Copies of this chain bind each other. A is one copy, B any other.
Amino acid sequence: MKALHYTEVEPQEVYGIPGVTVRWLTGKKEGAPNFAFRIFEMEPGAVIPSHQHDWEHEVFVLAGEGLVGVDGEERPLKEGDFVLIPPGASHKFINTGNGVFRFICVIPLKGDTRP
């Protein structure tokens, strides 16, 4: 079976945004059949600016406190919160807490545009 602890995966930069990393637990190159499973970490104060894709995100918060904005609507986030960001919706994330803001983000494979 393919199994690992998420910390075994090397964190990577996300579009060069300061204080933001992503770990791809599975995706195209790892042999996922249909969707990619990633874990993002944002340092306190870090911001993923508003942007959009043609595919959805299914987000689940593992730790910390943050804020999500979807098409201009904002909501605070804490551990155990789930958000479905529809395809095409503009969205942003901010770490509003004092510790790491860590969340899962699952996307269909067509969103795995890693080189």
Contact = CB atoms under 8 A, between A and B. Distances in A.
Interface of A: 1-7, 25-26, 30-35, 37, 55-56, 58, 60, 62, 68, 70-71, 73, 75, 77-78, 80-87, 89, 104, 106, 108
Given A37-B82, A87-B33, A58 B3 contact: no
Contacts of A81: 3-6
Given A35-B35, A35-B106, A58-B35, A82 B1 contact: no
Per assembly, the copies of the chain total 2
A34 B33 contact: no
5 contacts: A5-B81, A25-B60, A33-B56, A35-B58, A60-B104
